[in-house]
A and B are shown apart, each in its own frame.
Chain A
Amino acid sequence: MLNYIWAFMILIGVVYAAITGNMEAVTDAALGSAGEAVSLCITMAGVMALWMGLMRIAEKSGLIAGLASGIQPFLSFMFPRIPKKHESRKFIATNFIANILGLGWACTPAGLKAMEELAKLEEERGNPAYLDDGDRAERGKGRIASNEMCTFLILNTSSLQLIPVNMIVYRTQYGSANPAAVIAPAIIATLFSTIIAIIYCKIKDRKPIWKKQQAGRERFGRGN
Protein backbone atom coordinates (compact mmCIF):
# COMPACT_ATOMS: atom_id res chain seq x y z
CA MET A 1 0.00 0.00 0.00
CA LEU A 2 2.65 2.45 1.11
CA ASN A 3 4.62 1.37 -1.94
CA TYR A 4 2.08 3.06 -4.21
CA ILE A 5 1.43 6.08 -1.99
CA TRP A 6 5.13 6.88 -1.79
CA ALA A 7 5.82 6.31 -5.49
CA PHE A 8 2.77 8.45 -6.30
CA MET A 9 4.09 11.33 -4.19
CA ILE A 10 7.55 11.28 -5.76
CA LEU A 11 6.48 10.72 -9.37
CA ILE A 12 3.56 13.16 -9.42
CA GLY A 13 5.68 15.71 -7.56
CA VAL A 14 8.50 15.65 -10.09
CA VAL A 15 6.22 15.61 -13.14
CA TYR A 16 4.01 18.41 -11.82
CA ALA A 17 7.09 20.47 -10.93
CA ALA A 18 8.47 19.99 -14.44
CA ILE A 19 5.20 21.28 -15.92
CA THR A 20 4.85 24.26 -13.59
CA GLY A 21 8.55 25.13 -13.49
CA ASN A 22 9.09 24.39 -9.81
CA MET A 23 12.07 22.07 -10.26
CA GLU A 24 14.41 24.20 -8.18
CA ALA A 25 11.98 24.21 -5.24
CA VAL A 26 11.68 20.42 -5.49
CA THR A 27 15.46 20.05 -5.36
CA ASP A 28 15.62 22.14 -2.18
CA ALA A 29 12.67 20.30 -0.68
CA ALA A 30 14.10 16.84 -1.32
CA LEU A 31 17.49 17.62 0.19
CA GLY A 32 16.23 19.82 3.01
CA SER A 33 13.51 17.46 4.23
CA ALA A 34 15.89 14.51 4.47
CA GLY A 35 18.03 16.46 6.93
CA GLU A 36 14.93 17.64 8.75
CA ALA A 37 13.77 14.06 9.31
CA VAL A 38 17.01 13.35 11.16
CA SER A 39 16.74 16.38 13.44
CA LEU A 40 13.13 15.44 14.19
CA CYS A 41 14.28 11.98 15.23
CA ILE A 42 16.77 13.50 17.64
CA THR A 43 14.01 15.49 19.36
CA MET A 44 11.77 12.45 19.37
CA ALA A 45 14.45 10.18 20.81
CA GLY A 46 14.42 11.96 24.16
CA VAL A 47 10.65 11.89 24.66
CA MET A 48 10.28 8.32 23.44
CA ALA A 49 13.05 7.14 25.77
CA LEU A 50 11.36 8.91 28.69
CA TRP A 51 7.93 7.46 27.90
CA MET A 52 9.15 3.93 27.26
CA GLY A 53 11.22 4.03 30.44
CA LEU A 54 8.16 5.00 32.47
CA MET A 55 6.07 2.33 30.79
CA ARG A 56 8.66 -0.29 31.67
CA ILE A 57 8.26 0.67 35.34
CA ALA A 58 4.48 0.50 34.95
CA GLU A 59 4.81 -2.96 33.45
CA LYS A 60 7.15 -4.36 36.11
CA SER A 61 5.16 -2.91 39.01
CA GLY A 62 2.02 -4.67 37.85
CA LEU A 63 0.29 -1.40 37.05
CA ILE A 64 -0.55 -2.45 33.49
CA ALA A 65 -1.79 -5.89 34.55
CA GLY A 66 -3.90 -4.18 37.20
CA LEU A 67 -5.43 -1.89 34.61
CA ALA A 68 -6.16 -4.87 32.36
CA SER A 69 -8.13 -6.61 35.09
CA GLY A 70 -9.77 -3.28 35.94
CA ILE A 71 -11.46 -3.07 32.54
CA GLN A 72 -13.06 -6.54 32.79
CA PRO A 73 -16.51 -5.07 33.59
CA PHE A 74 -16.21 -2.96 30.44
CA LEU A 75 -15.34 -6.10 28.44
CA SER A 76 -18.40 -7.89 29.83
CA PHE A 77 -20.49 -4.95 28.66
CA MET A 78 -18.97 -4.80 25.16
CA PHE A 79 -18.69 -8.56 24.64
CA PRO A 80 -21.62 -10.07 26.55
CA ARG A 81 -21.41 -13.40 24.68
CA ILE A 82 -17.74 -14.17 25.39
CA PRO A 83 -17.65 -16.65 28.31
CA LYS A 84 -16.13 -15.19 31.52
CA LYS A 85 -13.14 -17.54 31.57
CA HIS A 86 -12.39 -17.39 27.85
CA GLU A 87 -8.74 -16.79 26.88
CA SER A 88 -9.66 -14.05 24.38
CA ARG A 89 -10.65 -11.67 27.20
CA LYS A 90 -7.08 -11.50 28.48
CA PHE A 91 -5.67 -10.49 25.09
CA ILE A 92 -8.46 -8.02 24.37
CA ALA A 93 -7.81 -6.37 27.74
CA THR A 94 -4.04 -6.17 27.13
CA ASN A 95 -4.61 -4.76 23.65
CA PHE A 96 -7.00 -2.06 24.92
CA ILE A 97 -4.70 -1.02 27.77
CA ALA A 98 -1.66 -0.90 25.47
CA ASN A 99 -3.71 1.22 23.06
CA ILE A 100 -4.85 3.59 25.81
CA LEU A 101 -1.26 4.07 27.02
CA GLY A 102 0.07 4.47 23.47
CA LEU A 103 2.30 1.38 23.55
CA GLY A 104 2.23 0.61 19.85
CA TRP A 105 4.62 -2.33 20.12
CA ALA A 106 2.41 -4.07 22.70
CA CYS A 107 -0.92 -3.48 20.91
CA THR A 108 -0.40 -5.52 17.77
CA PRO A 109 0.83 -8.84 19.23
CA ALA A 110 -1.99 -8.82 21.81
CA GLY A 111 -4.47 -7.79 19.14
CA LEU A 112 -3.47 -10.60 16.80
CA LYS A 113 -3.70 -13.15 19.65
CA ALA A 114 -7.13 -11.75 20.51
CA MET A 115 -8.31 -12.27 16.92
CA GLU A 116 -7.02 -15.86 16.91
CA GLU A 117 -8.81 -16.54 20.18
CA LEU A 118 -12.02 -15.02 18.82
CA ALA A 119 -11.72 -17.35 15.81
CA LYS A 120 -11.33 -20.24 18.27
CA LEU A 121 -14.43 -19.04 20.08
CA GLU A 122 -16.38 -19.36 16.82
CA GLU A 123 -14.97 -22.85 16.43
CA GLU A 124 -16.18 -23.74 19.94
CA ARG A 125 -19.60 -22.34 19.04
CA GLY A 126 -19.63 -24.74 16.09
CA ASN A 127 -19.60 -22.13 13.32
CA PRO A 128 -18.79 -24.37 10.31
CA ALA A 129 -16.60 -21.83 8.48
CA TYR A 130 -14.21 -21.91 11.44
CA LEU A 131 -13.97 -25.71 11.78
CA ASP A 132 -10.96 -27.28 10.11
CA ASP A 133 -12.93 -30.37 9.13
CA GLY A 134 -16.10 -28.37 8.61
CA ASP A 135 -18.67 -28.34 5.86
CA ARG A 136 -16.81 -27.75 2.57
CA ALA A 137 -19.49 -25.53 1.12
CA GLU A 138 -19.45 -23.32 4.21
CA ARG A 139 -15.67 -23.06 4.12
CA GLY A 140 -15.62 -22.15 0.44
CA LYS A 141 -17.70 -19.06 1.15
CA GLY A 142 -14.91 -17.65 3.33
CA ARG A 143 -15.02 -16.80 6.98
CA ILE A 144 -17.45 -14.16 8.10
CA ALA A 145 -16.40 -11.92 10.98
CA SER A 146 -18.17 -12.62 14.27
CA ASN A 147 -19.86 -9.81 16.18
CA GLU A 148 -17.05 -9.88 18.73
CA MET A 149 -14.46 -9.38 15.98
CA CYS A 150 -16.36 -6.43 14.55
CA THR A 151 -16.69 -4.81 17.96
CA PHE A 152 -13.02 -5.42 18.76
CA LEU A 153 -11.84 -3.94 15.46
CA ILE A 154 -14.16 -0.92 15.55
CA LEU A 155 -13.01 -0.03 19.08
CA ASN A 156 -9.40 -0.46 17.99
CA THR A 157 -9.77 1.81 14.96
CA SER A 158 -11.75 4.40 16.93
CA SER A 159 -8.44 5.28 18.63
CA LEU A 160 -8.14 4.70 22.35
CA GLN A 161 -4.83 6.44 22.99
CA LEU A 162 -5.13 9.00 25.79
CA ILE A 163 -1.77 10.84 25.75
CA PRO A 164 -0.73 11.65 22.15
CA VAL A 165 3.02 11.41 22.81
CA ASN A 166 3.98 11.62 19.13
CA MET A 167 1.97 14.77 18.51
CA ILE A 168 3.55 16.42 21.55
CA VAL A 169 7.00 15.66 20.12
CA TYR A 170 6.16 17.00 16.66
CA ARG A 171 4.70 20.15 18.20
CA THR A 172 7.86 20.64 20.26
CA GLN A 173 10.03 20.25 17.20
CA TYR A 174 8.08 22.84 15.22
CA GLY A 175 8.25 25.52 17.88
CA SER A 176 4.90 25.26 19.66
CA ALA A 177 4.57 27.66 22.60
CA ASN A 178 2.77 24.92 24.49
CA PRO A 179 3.25 21.44 22.99
CA ALA A 180 1.17 19.75 25.71
CA ALA A 181 -1.88 21.93 24.95
CA VAL A 182 -3.13 19.14 22.70
CA ILE A 183 -3.61 16.65 25.56
CA ALA A 184 -6.98 17.72 26.98
CA PRO A 185 -8.73 18.28 23.63
CA ALA A 186 -7.23 15.02 22.35
CA ILE A 187 -8.67 13.10 25.31
CA ILE A 188 -12.11 14.62 24.76
CA ALA A 189 -12.04 13.95 21.00
CA THR A 190 -10.85 10.37 21.56
CA LEU A 191 -13.58 9.76 24.15
CA PHE A 192 -16.19 11.18 21.79
CA SER A 193 -15.15 9.04 18.81
CA THR A 194 -14.93 5.97 21.05
CA ILE A 195 -18.38 6.58 22.54
CA ILE A 196 -19.84 6.86 19.03
CA ALA A 197 -18.08 3.59 18.18
CA ILE A 198 -19.49 1.91 21.31
CA ILE A 199 -23.05 3.03 20.48
CA TYR A 200 -22.68 1.81 16.90
CA CYS A 201 -21.35 -1.58 18.07
CA LYS A 202 -24.15 -2.00 20.62
CA ILE A 203 -26.78 -1.30 17.96
CA LYS A 204 -25.20 -3.74 15.51
CA ASP A 205 -24.44 -6.43 18.11
CA ARG A 206 -28.03 -7.18 19.06
CA LYS A 207 -28.13 -10.36 17.00
CA PRO A 208 -25.17 -12.75 16.65
CA ILE A 209 -24.79 -13.60 12.97
CA TRP A 210 -23.97 -17.25 13.47
CA LYS A 211 -27.11 -17.96 15.56
CA LYS A 212 -29.15 -16.19 12.92
CA GLN A 213 -27.77 -18.39 10.16
CA GLN A 214 -28.35 -21.51 12.22
CA ALA A 215 -31.94 -20.53 12.93
CA GLY A 216 -32.47 -19.90 9.22
CA ARG A 217 -31.10 -23.30 8.28
CA GLU A 218 -33.30 -25.11 10.77
CA ARG A 219 -36.34 -23.32 9.46
CA PHE A 220 -35.64 -24.66 6.01
CA GLY A 221 -35.17 -28.16 7.39
CA ARG A 222 -31.47 -28.42 6.56
CA GLY A 223 -30.25 -28.32 10.17
CA ASN A 224 -27.56 -30.70 11.38
Chain B
Amino acid sequence: MAGFLANFSNVIIPVIIFYIVAYGLINKVQVYEEFIGGAKEGLKTVVGILPTLVGLMVGVCVLRASGFMQFLGGILGSFTEKIGIPADIVPLTLVKMFSSSAATGLVLDIFKTHGTDSYIGMLTSILMSCTETIFYTMSVYFLAAKVTKTRYTLAGAIISMLAGLLASVVLAGMVV
Protein backbone atom coordinates (compact mmCIF):
# COMPACT_ATOMS: atom_id res chain seq x y z
CA MET B 1 0.00 0.00 0.00
CA ALA B 2 2.74 2.47 0.99
CA GLY B 3 4.64 1.55 -2.21
CA PHE B 4 1.58 2.13 -4.34
CA LEU B 5 0.94 5.51 -2.66
CA ALA B 6 4.52 6.60 -3.34
CA ASN B 7 4.27 5.51 -6.99
CA PHE B 8 0.99 7.29 -7.52
CA SER B 9 2.34 10.47 -5.91
CA ASN B 10 5.34 10.46 -8.24
CA VAL B 11 3.39 9.87 -11.44
CA ILE B 12 0.38 12.15 -11.00
CA ILE B 13 2.05 15.52 -11.73
CA PRO B 14 3.60 14.54 -15.11
CA VAL B 15 0.29 12.92 -16.10
CA ILE B 16 -1.67 16.07 -15.29
CA ILE B 17 0.80 18.28 -17.16
CA PHE B 18 0.68 15.99 -20.20
CA TYR B 19 -3.11 15.81 -20.19
CA ILE B 20 -3.64 19.58 -19.89
CA VAL B 21 -1.15 20.45 -22.63
CA ALA B 22 -2.43 17.72 -24.98
CA TYR B 23 -6.06 18.71 -24.37
CA GLY B 24 -5.16 22.35 -25.05
CA LEU B 25 -3.41 21.48 -28.32
CA ILE B 26 -6.32 19.35 -29.53
CA ASN B 27 -8.68 22.25 -28.82
CA LYS B 28 -6.40 24.63 -30.74
CA VAL B 29 -5.37 26.74 -27.75
CA GLN B 30 -2.18 28.79 -28.06
CA VAL B 31 -0.81 26.69 -25.21
CA TYR B 32 2.53 28.42 -24.79
CA GLU B 33 1.12 31.95 -24.81
CA GLU B 34 -1.65 31.04 -22.40
CA PHE B 35 0.84 29.31 -20.14
CA ILE B 36 2.97 32.46 -19.98
CA GLY B 37 -0.09 34.58 -19.22
CA GLY B 38 -1.15 32.28 -16.41
CA ALA B 39 2.37 32.06 -15.03
CA LYS B 40 2.46 35.83 -14.83
CA GLU B 41 -0.71 35.78 -12.73
CA GLY B 42 0.80 33.09 -10.52
CA LEU B 43 3.85 35.25 -9.83
CA LYS B 44 1.64 38.19 -8.94
CA THR B 45 -0.21 35.98 -6.44
CA VAL B 46 3.05 34.94 -4.78
CA VAL B 47 4.35 38.51 -4.55
CA GLY B 48 0.96 39.48 -3.10
CA ILE B 49 1.25 37.00 -0.22
CA LEU B 50 4.87 37.81 0.63
CA PRO B 51 4.04 40.52 3.21
CA THR B 52 1.54 38.18 4.92
CA LEU B 53 4.12 35.44 5.02
CA VAL B 54 6.77 37.70 6.54
CA GLY B 55 4.34 38.89 9.21
CA LEU B 56 3.12 35.45 10.19
CA MET B 57 6.44 33.66 10.09
CA VAL B 58 7.91 36.32 12.36
CA GLY B 59 4.93 35.93 14.71
CA VAL B 60 5.21 32.15 14.91
CA CYS B 61 8.99 32.16 15.25
CA VAL B 62 8.89 34.74 18.03
CA LEU B 63 6.33 32.64 19.87
CA ARG B 64 8.41 29.49 19.47
CA ALA B 65 11.75 31.09 20.38
CA SER B 66 10.21 32.47 23.56
CA GLY B 67 9.55 28.92 24.71
CA PHE B 68 5.79 29.51 24.97
CA MET B 69 4.91 26.91 22.31
CA GLN B 70 6.81 24.17 24.15
CA PHE B 71 5.03 25.19 27.33
CA LEU B 72 1.61 25.03 25.65
CA GLY B 73 2.50 21.90 23.70
CA GLY B 74 3.57 20.17 26.89
CA ILE B 75 0.15 20.72 28.43
CA LEU B 76 -1.91 19.75 25.38
CA GLY B 77 0.41 17.00 24.21
CA SER B 78 0.08 14.91 27.34
CA PHE B 79 -3.55 14.28 26.37
CA THR B 80 -3.33 13.96 22.59
CA GLU B 81 -0.11 11.95 22.32
CA LYS B 82 -1.94 8.93 23.71
CA ILE B 83 -3.96 8.75 20.45
CA GLY B 84 -1.01 9.37 18.12
CA ILE B 85 -1.39 13.13 17.76
CA PRO B 86 1.86 14.96 18.56
CA ALA B 87 1.61 18.11 20.69
CA ASP B 88 2.41 20.51 17.83
CA ILE B 89 -0.58 19.31 15.81
CA VAL B 90 -3.18 20.58 18.29
CA PRO B 91 -2.53 24.33 17.96
CA LEU B 92 -2.03 23.80 14.20
CA THR B 93 -5.50 22.25 13.79
CA LEU B 94 -7.11 25.01 15.82
CA VAL B 95 -5.35 27.84 13.96
CA LYS B 96 -6.20 26.30 10.56
CA MET B 97 -9.91 26.69 11.35
CA PHE B 98 -9.42 30.47 11.37
CA SER B 99 -6.62 31.32 9.01
CA SER B 100 -4.74 29.43 6.35
CA SER B 101 -1.77 31.78 6.36
CA ALA B 102 -1.36 31.66 10.13
CA ALA B 103 -1.41 27.87 9.88
CA THR B 104 1.29 28.06 7.21
CA GLY B 105 3.54 29.81 9.72
CA LEU B 106 3.10 26.90 12.15
CA VAL B 107 3.60 24.32 9.38
CA LEU B 108 6.95 25.78 8.36
CA ASP B 109 8.00 25.86 11.98
CA ILE B 110 7.17 22.15 12.34
CA PHE B 111 9.11 21.36 9.14
CA LYS B 112 12.11 23.26 10.45
CA THR B 113 12.09 21.55 13.84
CA HIS B 114 11.12 17.98 12.91
CA GLY B 115 11.87 17.73 9.17
CA THR B 116 9.33 17.18 6.39
CA ASP B 117 9.68 13.40 6.10
CA SER B 118 9.31 12.52 9.78
CA TYR B 119 6.01 11.16 11.12
CA ILE B 120 4.96 14.58 12.39
CA GLY B 121 6.13 16.26 9.16
CA MET B 122 4.06 13.87 7.05
CA LEU B 123 1.07 14.15 9.38
CA THR B 124 1.25 17.94 9.08
CA SER B 125 1.51 17.75 5.27
CA ILE B 126 -1.55 15.50 4.95
CA LEU B 127 -3.60 17.33 7.56
CA MET B 128 -3.09 20.71 5.90
CA SER B 129 -4.07 19.17 2.55
CA CYS B 130 -7.41 17.83 3.77
CA THR B 131 -8.69 20.65 5.99
CA GLU B 132 -10.08 24.11 5.29
CA THR B 133 -10.44 27.43 7.07
CA ILE B 134 -13.90 26.68 8.47
CA PHE B 135 -14.70 29.95 10.26
CA TYR B 136 -13.29 32.18 7.55
CA THR B 137 -15.21 30.44 4.75
CA MET B 138 -18.43 30.33 6.74
CA SER B 139 -18.35 33.99 7.69
CA VAL B 140 -17.57 35.22 4.17
CA TYR B 141 -20.07 32.97 2.37
CA PHE B 142 -22.97 33.42 4.76
CA LEU B 143 -22.41 37.16 4.69
CA ALA B 144 -23.01 37.07 0.92
CA ALA B 145 -26.45 35.52 1.50
CA LYS B 146 -27.11 37.76 4.56
CA VAL B 147 -27.71 34.66 6.65
CA THR B 148 -27.22 34.89 10.42
CA LYS B 149 -28.49 31.47 11.54
CA THR B 150 -26.23 28.81 10.13
CA ARG B 151 -27.96 25.74 11.66
CA TYR B 152 -25.96 22.52 11.30
CA THR B 153 -23.17 23.93 9.10
CA LEU B 154 -20.54 24.32 11.83
CA ALA B 155 -21.20 20.87 13.29
CA GLY B 156 -20.84 19.31 9.83
CA ALA B 157 -17.66 21.23 9.09
CA ILE B 158 -16.07 20.18 12.38
CA ILE B 159 -17.09 16.52 11.94
CA SER B 160 -15.47 16.41 8.50
CA MET B 161 -12.37 18.13 9.87
CA LEU B 162 -12.05 15.49 12.59
CA ALA B 163 -12.49 12.81 9.92
CA GLY B 164 -9.58 14.45 8.05
CA LEU B 165 -7.47 14.47 11.21
CA LEU B 166 -8.20 10.78 11.83
CA ALA B 167 -7.35 9.89 8.21
CA SER B 168 -4.12 11.91 8.45
CA VAL B 169 -2.96 10.10 11.58
CA VAL B 170 -3.65 6.69 10.01
CA LEU B 171 -2.13 7.54 6.63
CA ALA B 172 0.98 9.24 8.05
CA GLY B 173 1.59 6.14 10.12
CA MET B 174 1.38 4.00 6.98
CA VAL B 175 3.59 6.14 4.74
CA VAL B 176 6.44 6.94 7.12
Which residues of chain A have a CB within 8 Å of any CB of chain B? 1-2, 5-6, 9-10, 12-14, 16-17, 20, 22, 25-26, 28-30, 32-34, 36-38, 40-41, 44-45, 48-58, 60-63, 105, 108, 111-112, 115-116, 118-119, 142-145, 149-150, 152-154, 156-159, 161, 163-164, 166-167, 170-171, 173-186, 188-190, 192-194, 196-197, 200-201, 204, 209
Residues on A with C-beta less than 8 A from B140 are 108, 112
Interface residue tally on B, bucketed by range: 35 or more
Q: Is the CB of B23 within 8 A of A170?
A: no
Dominant SS among interface residues on chain B: helix
CB distance from A13 to the nearest CB of B (A): 4
Distance between B136 CB and nearest chain A CB, rounded to angstroms: 7
Contacts of B24 in A (CB 8 A): 57-58, 60-61, 63
Residues of B within 8 A of A56 (CB): 34-35, 37-39, 41
Q: A54-B16, A111-B141, A209-B151 are in contact. Are A186 and B132 (CB under 8 A)?
A: no
The reply to whether B129 and A145 contact each other, CB–CB distance below 8 Å, is no
Residue-wise, chain B 134-149 has the 8 Å CB interface mask toward A (1 for contact) of: 1111101110111111
Residues in B lying within 8 Å of A, measured CB to CB: 4-6, 8-10, 12-13, 16-17, 20-21, 23-24, 26-27, 29, 31, 34-43, 45-47, 49-50, 53-68, 71, 95, 98-99, 101-102, 104, 107-108, 111-112, 115-117, 121-122, 125-138, 140-142, 144-153, 155-157, 159-161, 163-164, 166-168, 171-172, 174-175
